[in-house]
Structure 1
Amino acid sequence: MVKNDELTVSRRKFVKGSFAGAVATAGVLGGASMFGCSPSEEGGETTAPESAEEAASMPAPNALPEDTITWCQCNVNCGGNCVFQWHSQDGKVTYMETDNTGDDENFQARACLRGRSMRRWLNSSERLLYPMKRVGKRGSGEFEQITWDEALDLLHDKLQYTIDTWGNEAIYRIYATGMYSTTGNPSKRFLNCIGGCVDQLYDYSTHMLQAIMPFMYGTQFSPYDNVHASSFSEAEANSDLVVMFGNSPAETRMGGINAVWDFAKVREAVQSRGGKIVNIDYRLNETSSGHPEEWLPIRTGTDAALCAALIHEFIADGKTDEDFLSTYCVGWNEDTMPEGSKGKNLSYYDYIMGTGYDKVEKTPEWAAPITQIPADTIRALAADLENAEAPFVVQGWGPQRHTNGEEACRAICMVPIALGKIGLPGTNTGQREAEPPIYLVGSIPGADENGPVTQGCSILIPVYQWLNVVDHGTEMGVKKGGIVDPAGELDDNDGMLHTNIHFIWNYAGNCITNQHGDANKVYDVLNSISDDDLFIMTWDTVMTDSAKYSDLILPDAMRSEQMNMQTQGYAEYYAGVTVGNPAQEAPGECRSSYDVLADLAERFDMRDAFTNGGMTHDDWVKYLYENNFSEAYGIEMPTWDEILEQGVFKLPVDPSVGLKAFRDDPEANALGTPSGKIEIYSEQLAALNDEWELEYEDEPIQPLPIFNPGFHGYGSVTDEYPLYCTGFHHKSRTHSSYGFIRELEQVARQQLWINPMDAEARGIANGDQVIVTSPAGQIKIEAKVTSRIVPGTIAVPQGSWRKADMEGDRIDEGGCVNTLSVYHPTPYAKGNGPAHSMIAEVAKA
């Protein structure tokens, strides 16, 4: 077991030894090179000695202050949770080292460059320091400072007023991921103490995947496991072909034991076996930027068309695995269709071969003008897939964030399914690479198993639907709006919500405006509602754009300013825990959320219930660590005293093969679908299309993974908006986290990607300021003219902070992509498909 003092104390000895060594060499280097002008005890400057003898006779300078080293992690949502070692002097963080524990340099959770800028966030002059109450219009950013007592009295009164007037169903805990920690957000527990709230369903990262994939791979499906996907370590060991759809870990998962490092090893291993990597993307992304031969350019939003053409070639070449498809699947051809759907040409085979509903054969020639990939190139990729012994087909989460994403994510999975290359060594299911199956510690429970805090409300709202529920929630329900009501709380109202949302609880999130669709519409809707009918509370560390729309802002202490504990990230394929003490005191009047909520709970006479009989925040950290899950995994973890001393505990996780158990024994390990098999055609989805009241009649719920252009997808450009526009994750930000740090803005600027052909036609040169206009709004942004993006498509890095005069021209000079995205939920998931499905025009500013 590695001890913390074995790793870090030696640095102090090094500093002192280096100083002594420098004095010893002063005669060689010259005294001035060592001493120069140094501070005197009185605060003035001393004169440099003129000789080594004079230097030796001078009194010793003040001793260098001792470092205090504490541990923490990068707690924002890239999926990494990379490890920090804070160095503090006199109670203030001075700099940060990252993980250097262990002997193997391949097993260090080292922070990426944006994570290493966390010190600038921690000690930023833009930190929120005091509670504040809104005094201007929503979005104006006009607030006045109030005391904590005033803030908690106001919060108590507004919560009580909401409950008394509309009930707990009117309170919504909005989706937020700006703070990950086992004790980082006890809001759920507090809200359950006062009767509960409507909560969030799905998430912005995998909205369509979470909603639609259970109909194909079963109700147990999760995009966050190693059951329905294979690990990159499995590809490293056994794959001979990796085909990636919209997957760029070099931009999204950049840490030391993160997916980018895993993929680098995959590339080396696959290529050493004579295999190849194919990265399908509308951009030459950062993952393939040094390997352009891997890039297969595609028009954004057309992945399902490419998949259909590939599978057409598998059929034409006789390479589909018919035994696998008949044994493990429903809906591949007429023989495998459900009984009630036979004889109607509804199978996937009929769709591909042109005998299905649209009577169009999905040949490479059909797909070429849609995808911008030549037909011969499609055939060559099909041949590579057919000839591979262990093809690893993997998608990122970008393809499903289109308005046709509910079909696209399933269509990508059809590529390995059609070949029968699932559940075998070196293969994958078409999902993003697997995530670790082991989490060693839990978090503060939202409810007690046998205690006073119980789940108060079970109604769930798709995260992208909150704006509609604020605006017209009583017109929405289970069959009209995708609301989930597992306990039947809405049965007395025909499945419809009883009320709109009247209170938004926003902790560490920027999804009110910046990270939500159609930010201009959000402004209009929120400002159309009276202050008596809507109250928004935001709890954060800096003034985000979402915070400007709040009625009350509370200043949060950061994880590094209190005892903290967190597991490994969900995108890092290992298991671990990091525990650290505060690296510095919180500035101003910032307080930990737990301590504040304990005080708020007291105003509801619920302090004892919330604190579980008086437990402090630090008591919870120790309790959660000592009641870990290590026994279930047969793991021996350090004691509490040992983890406090060493800071970090890590262990590797074995490779995994997605759906291996199902492949090995499909009866004993049946999937959670009606048939227990992979359902290519879903009778459930077909029934829902008939039963639900769909918002847009021309956008049905599709039972098959077809190519559907989607709203503002392929074929929707016009003379006014002739370009397809999409967002992508930027390496300088984790969503919008880190988005205010100027040093990151300078080294990785917010730039519109535009192909030289499109730029030349508009008189735009690299570095020009341009105006991008969509049906939803306008942004001003610098142009990056590059052949690394396909013609006809422009791209805006997502997460940049909005800077718009909403009472003026509304042009967003911060370049936030959600100023351009139209608010248009997808048919079944009610998700954020327009995040990557936009149409636009660009003009020189």
Structure 2
Amino acid sequence: MERREFLKMSAAMSAAAAVTGCSSESAQTTPPVTVPVEEKLNWSACLVNCGSNCPVKVYSRDGIITRIETDYAVEDDYGNHQVRACLRGRSLRKRVYAPDRLKYPMKRVGPRGSGQFERISWDEALNTVASELGRLRGQYGPECTHFTYHSGAYYSFAGFNCLARLMNITGGALGAYGDYSWAQLYQAANYTYGDANHGWLGSSNAEMRKSDLVLLIGHNPAEMRMSGSGESYDYLNIIQDKQKQRAQDGTQFKTIIIDPRYTDSALGKEDQWIPVRPGTDAALMEALAFELITNNWIDQSFLNSHCLGFDEHTLPAGQDYDATYKSYILDNTQPGSLTAGSNAKTPEWASAICGVPADDIRQLAKDLADATTPFVHIAASLNRQAAGENNIRACYMLPILLGQVGLPGTNNGAMCSGASLPIATMPTRGDLNTVDKSISFFTFTQAIEDGENMTVLRDGVKLPADQLDANGDGKLGVNIKAIVNYAGNALINQHADTKKTEALLKDESKCEFIVVIDNWMTPSAEFADILLPDINWLETKDDLINQSYAAGDTATLVQMSSSLEPMFECRDAYDIALGIAEIWGVAGQFTEGKTKQQWRDELYAVAKNATPELPSKEEMKTQGIFRKYLPNGSYVVLEDFRKDPVANPLKTPSGKIEIYSDRLATLGSKWELKEGDVISALPKYVPTWDGYESLDTPEEREKAAKYPLQMHGYHTKGRAHSSYHNVPWLREAVEDAVWMNPIDAQERGLSSGDTVQVFNDRGTIELPVKVTPRIMPGVTALGQGAWFKGAGKNIDKGGCLNTLTSQRPTPISKGNGQHTIRVQINKA
């Protein structure tokens, strides 16, 4: 920080202290007469990728933040409750004034990843970016340019859309499909329900009130969705109300949580915790299916009328009975018979794999069958496994077999739909994008290394039909030569196998130019050639944002304004993109002749038209937040389809729920798969690389013996992915330590607080251990998102989980199996 900025901040802090009666002077010294400066209040929001975008009240004096508060404008009565930011949002002042805040444009002066930069002017920075991007795009085509995954700033106006707009105006860039959160889930939903929405977004949280059994498979809203308008608050209120009702009148209700860890979503709020080994959920689901089928607890009528591929009554065209789900589960090829074969998916078979006692599996099946309205919620964490697509499809089978789909109080297994109020965002002009090629988000490092040889059938490349051969195959034909990394830390920190990525990015002959636009010196920023300092959320005048994608049953709109000017030489993404557009001669196309304020006014008007009761912009600057509980009522997923599957068919080829997918059968026969990868027409448990059941190869058996512990990644309260890691308050409140069961710790002579090394063939991290019975034996767990501190070193002492994870993509989505990890742990 420059001296003048520091003095300005110090003066403001002194004024604030004087107003509250505090002074650094001794008691004998007469304090100077100070004229109090009135605090200004501006509403803003936390725009991090937790799914909620909570409002915050920013108090400032003389352009310096003095304190952060959150919403407490109404009585906290559920349904019209306060939308309170969690501990992360309340720490925003520390984040804005973090010591590693990027202040000026900089260029790299040392090797990539060394963190060596020197300050340059904006003119030099923008001219360098325009020149290098122009040179590479001219030489290799616009498809050589790629945006890495980004989710650190969900602006409606002056954010990523401005950069995408610039690229599209000038030819576009290489696209990406999927994301680190739900790539495999999207595909599981697509092949089961016909589109991603019906498997990604399920019934409203409010439908739990009508349920008599809530089953959370890996779902952990207490740590994932902490916002006052979010799923955690919905879940807590609903569960507590149901438990009170049960205590008062004996109403039947039960909450069951399946998870390797005893999470904060349990902690006495659950009736049963069932620990399961990571990546083996599909085996557990198949054993539950065995119990449901053999005890005739299935809804045969629903399966006959709404589903394809369960038994002889729902055979896919051209298939025999042995292709059905019932035949597979029972290992019996005789239609109508319930006799179990030697390879039947019995509770005893599953118990040996997933670690759940067979009797517990039988009891869970009976509980599900006895429930009149079971509500099944599958977490996205299950899809981030080596066979994530099959994990999710296998879990979908519970409500499908029970026929508990499309009815009040039920869910089809998907994550709950959140209430939403629409807003408009900066148009990206995707219609001008000339690049019609895309890759999986997770394969960008492969595309740097060997993109020109990546294919459709082996690597999941998407190409236009006229670029495919007679077999439906084709090559990407270009390597990624330039990367724009905006408000994201997936360039290295959130991507898998950080040491492998580090080595790749250091080779400047491969990716020749990297520009990073961010607020802080993140691990990804250290690999930039040019660093551009973005403004932060509390300095923006973005006007209006909504509650994002996972806010729960309360829809909100938040007015974002600021009395803070951008610190140092920071600029927002609109001004950065406009500066490059001017150099490239396309400023007129970029602005369309509008000022920034005209753009913002136009976007606000669209939102006002969609929600007429939304106050005016001037009113919202004072009110700050507009909220509506269940604005469209409670939602039951697939309700219309359940009522009339003929009139309301799904988007699957058959129009029904496809237990058997002919499309997947075709992919499995055509695609080039690595050894151990399986694409099956039916949802099936399969052993995987680095899984509890290793693949039957010498290499995998050796790896399993060398690294006997399964590592499970999870989201902590102190971060949203890697965002907020640079706030010391949060690192103190939520310790980064690897969880270990006392049995495993005793074998290694470890106690809580010991420094340990967690390692496998990909790398080593060093951090404390937390010994706790809240995790099952044989499994360890670590909060993901800690910042990588291993560049150029043998040991990452930052504790970044991705030092240990694999870049091997999953079979169907080519997504990230980053929760499939084997490790060993020793005392450091």
TM-score of the pair, normalised by structure 2: 0.91
Aligned position for 1:284: 262
Per the TM alignment, residue 187 of structure 1 is displaced from its structure 2 partner at its CA by 1.2
Pick aligned residue for 1:434 from 393, 399, 417: 417
Per the TM alignment, residue 355 of structure 1 is displaced from its structure 2 partner at its CA by 2.9
Matched ranges for 1:803-818 at <5 A: 803-806=789-792, 808=793, 810-818=794-802
Q: Name whichever of 786-795 and 209-218 sits farther off.
A: 209-218
Q: Is the 8 A contact 2:56 2:71 kept in 1?
A: yes
| 2:443 equivalent to 1:465 | yes
Aligned position for 1:484: 462
Aligned position for 1:421: 404
Aligned position for 1:96: 68
Q: Is the 8 A contact 1:307 1:411 kept in 2?
A: yes
Q: Name whichever of 566-575 and 552-561 sits farther off.
A: 566-575
| 2:221 equivalent to 1:249 | yes
Which secondary structure state, in structure 1, belongs to the residue aligned with residue 203 of structure 2?
coil
Letter in 2 for 1:514: N
Which secondary structure state, in structure 2, belongs to the residue aligned with residue 814 of structure 1?
coil
Q: Is the 8 A contact 2:257 2:270 kept in 1?
A: no
Aligned position for 1:675: 654
Aligned position for 1:443: 425
Q: Name whichever of 357-366 and 641-650 sits farther off.
A: 357-366
Per the TM alignment, residue 770 of structure 1 is displaced from its structure 2 partner at its CA by 0.4
The alpha-carbon distance between structure 1 residues 649 and 487, as it changes in their structure 2 partners (threshold 3 A), is farther
Cα distance in 1, alignment partners of residues 242 and 395 from structure 2: 21
Cα distance in 2, alignment partners of residues 137 and 358 from structure 1: 61
Aligned position for 1:581: 561
Per the TM alignment, residue 524 of structure 1 is displaced from its structure 2 partner at its CA by 1.7
Which secondary structure state, in structure 1, belongs to the residue aligned with residue 824 of structure 2?
strand
Matched ranges for 1:418-817 at <5 A: 418-436=401-419, 438-447=420-429, 454-485=432-463, 488=466, 495-530=474-509, 533-564=511-542, 565-572=544-551, 573-616=553-596, 618-628=597-607, 630-631=609-610, 635-653=612-630, 654-694=633-673, 696-716=674-694, 718-806=704-792, 808=793, 810-817=794-801
- Residues 509-548 of structure 1: CA distance to partner in whole angstroms, max 9, x if unpaired? 00011101111110122223417x5211110000111111
- Residues 284-340 of structure 1: CA distance to partner in whole angstroms, max 9, x if unpaired? 011112446431111111111111111111111111001100100011113312112
- Residues 590-615 of structure 1: CA distance to partner in whole angstroms, max 9, x if unpaired? 11110121111011111111112132
Aligned position for 1:178: 152
Q: Is the 8 A contact 2:382 2:392 kept in 1?
A: yes
Cα distance in 1, alignment partners of residues 588 and 575 from structure 2: 13
Q: Is the 8 A contact 2:230 2:554 kept in 1?
A: no
Cα distance in 2, alignment partners of residues 98 and 548 from structure 1: 33
Pick aligned residue for 1:331 from 309, 313, 316: 309
Per the TM alignment, residue 458 of structure 1 is displaced from its structure 2 partner at its CA by 3.0
Matched ranges for 1:362-441 at <5 A: 362-436=345-419, 438-441=420-423
Letter in 1 for 2:790: A
Letter in 2 for 1:412: C
Pick aligned residue for 1:819 from 784, 800, 803: 803
Which secondary structure state, in structure 2, belongs to the residue aligned with residue 718 of structure 1?
helix
The alpha-carbon distance between structure 1 residues 222 and 144, as it changes in their structure 2 partners (threshold 3 A), is farther
- Residues 344-378 of structure 1: CA distance to partner in whole angstroms, max 9, x if unpaired? x1111111102379961011111111111111111
Aligned position for 2:122: 148
Per the TM alignment, residue 396 of structure 1 is displaced from its structure 2 partner at its CA by 1.1
Q: Is the 8 A contact 1:440 1:629 kept in 2?
A: no
Aligned position for 1:235: 208
Q: Is the 8 A contact 2:198 2:638 kept in 1?
A: no
Cα distance in 1, alignment partners of residues 307 and 608 from structure 2: 36
The alpha-carbon distance between structure 1 residues 667 and 746, as it changes in their structure 2 partners (threshold 3 A), is same
Cα distance in 2, alignment partners of residues 730 and 526 from structure 1: 28
Cα distance in 2, alignment partners of residues 486 and 289 from structure 1: 51
Cα distance in 2, alignment partners of residues 105 and 488 from structure 1: 58
Which secondary structure state, in structure 2, belongs to the residue aligned with residue 299 of structure 1?
coil
Which secondary structure state, in structure 1, belongs to the residue aligned with residue 197 of structure 2?
coil
Q: Is the 8 A contact 1:182 1:621 kept in 2?
A: no
Letter in 1 for 2:409: G
| 2:100 equivalent to 1:126 | yes
Cα distance in 1, alignment partners of residues 538 and 170 from structure 2: 30
Aligned position for 2:337: none
Cα distance in 2, alignment partners of residues 641 and 222 from structure 1: 38
Per the TM alignment, residue 712 of structure 1 is displaced from its structure 2 partner at its CA by 1.0
Matched ranges for 1:4-15 at <5 A: none
Q: Name whichever of 325-334 and 261-270 sits farther off.
A: 261-270
Cα distance in 2, alignment partners of residues 499 and 619 from structure 1: 39
Cα distance in 1, alignment partners of residues 342 and 143 from structure 2: 47
Cα distance in 2, alignment partners of residues 730 and 335 from structure 1: 47
The alpha-carbon distance between structure 1 residues 494 and 311, as it changes in their structure 2 partners (threshold 3 A), is closer
Which secondary structure state, in structure 1, belongs to the residue aligned with residue 532 of structure 2?
strand
Which secondary structure state, in structure 2, belongs to the residue aligned with residue 429 of structure 1?
strand
The alpha-carbon distance between structure 1 residues 105 and 585, as it changes in their structure 2 partners (threshold 3 A), is farther
Which secondary structure state, in structure 2, belongs to the residue aligned with residue 172 of structure 1?
strand
| 2:182 equivalent to 1:218 | no
Cα distance in 2, alignment partners of residues 359 and 502 from structure 1: 54
Letter in 1 for 2:575: D
Unaligned runs of 5+ in 1: 1-14, 20-33, 50-58
Pick aligned residue for 1:832 from 795, 816, 819: 816
Question: CA-atom RMSD, angstroms?
Answer: 2.3
Matched ranges for 1:326-365 at <5 A: 326-343=304-321, 345-355=322-332, 360-365=343-348
Cα distance in 2, alignment partners of residues 670 and 292 from structure 1: 37
Cα distance in 1, alignment partners of residues 199 and 410 from structure 2: 17
Say how many residue pairs are matched: 784
Cα distance in 2, alignment partners of residues 494 and 718 from structure 1: 35
Which secondary structure state, in structure 2, belongs to the residue aligned with residue 627 of structure 1?
helix
Letter in 2 for 1:672: K
TM-score of the pair, normalised by structure 1: 0.89
Q: Is the 8 A contact 1:178 1:737 kept in 2?
A: yes
Per the TM alignment, residue 193 of structure 1 is displaced from its structure 2 partner at its CA by 1.4
Unaligned runs of 5+ in 2: 1-14, 246-250, 334-339, 695-702
Cα distance in 1, alignment partners of residues 373 and 170 from structure 2: 54
Q: Is the 8 A contact 2:198 2:637 kept in 1?
A: no
The alpha-carbon distance between structure 1 residues 504 and 837, as it changes in their structure 2 partners (threshold 3 A), is same
